[in-house]
């Protein structure tokens, strides 16, 4: 199994599907790193932990803001990945699913690097928390829209041919889960 140990960032981003033998493993490692970095970035802005979660104790331990955010993000991405798999396989687009995982892996890899720089900047430089939150939200919205355009116009194709499947995928598997996660964490 080849883990891209000697590959540079440029080589990794330009990697073709037929040159990679570990799409799932690479995607899994990138997803874990991205989930941890999103949790580090967002957990400091959670207003409170819901009371029903604060009352839960497993072995005498309770969840803090980071733990709640990490579990929520991991459940979010796991559910979204399973639903995406069902969506593509039910339509018979298994080949497009592999292309989607390759592109998503590269996108989330770059997102992880950006989040590492962002978190380092926030924790080690005197920055107003509210301004940082606004910048983070605006940047997140911009990256989300960029991701949708990348998915829509990427070569090789990763979206189904029919326009209504594209709209269905974007609305039900991209926008709706993000709104649900936002309402859970910040409401």
Residue 29: inside a domain: yes
Residue 40: inside a domain: yes
For the beta carbon of residue 112, count every other beta carbon within 10 angstroms: 19
Q: Report the predicted TM-score, pTM, of the whole model to 2 decimal places.
A: 0.82
pLDDT digits (tens, 9 = 90+) for 49-84: 888 888 888 888 888 889 889 999 999 999 988 998
pLDDT digits (tens, 9 = 90+) for 115-125: 999 889 888 88
3-state secondary structure (DSSP) of residue 61: strand
Total structural domains within the chain: 1
Residue 122: inside a domain: yes
Residue 27: inside a domain: yes
Residue 1: inside a domain: no
Residue 172: inside a domain: yes
Structure tokens at 29: 């490692």
Could you say which DSSP state residue 174 is in?
I
């Amino acid at each position: 199994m080849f883990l891209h140990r000697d590959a540079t960032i440029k080589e990794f981003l330009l990697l073709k599907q037929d040159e990679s033998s570990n799409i799932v493993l690479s995607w899994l490692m990138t997803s874990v790193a991205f989930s941890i970095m999103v949790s580090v970035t967002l957990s400091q802005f959670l207003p409170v932990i819901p009371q029903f979660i604060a009352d839960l104790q497993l072995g005498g331990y309770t969840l803090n803001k980071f733990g709640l955010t990490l579990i929520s993000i991991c459940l979010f991405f796991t559910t979204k990945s399973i639903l995406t798999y069902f969506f593509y396989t039910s339509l018979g687009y298994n080949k497009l699913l592999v292309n989607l995982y390759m592109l998503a892996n590269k996108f989330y890899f770059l997102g992880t690097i950006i989040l590492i720089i962002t978190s380092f900047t926030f924790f080690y430089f005197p920055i107003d928390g509210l301004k940082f939150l606004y910048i983070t939200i605006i940047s997140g919205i911009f990256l989300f829209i960029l991701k949708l355009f990348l998915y829509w116009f990427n070569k090789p194709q990763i979206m189904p041919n029919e326009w209504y499947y594209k709209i269905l995928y974007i609305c039900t598997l991209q926008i709706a889960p993000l709104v649900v996660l936002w309402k859970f964490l910040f409401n």
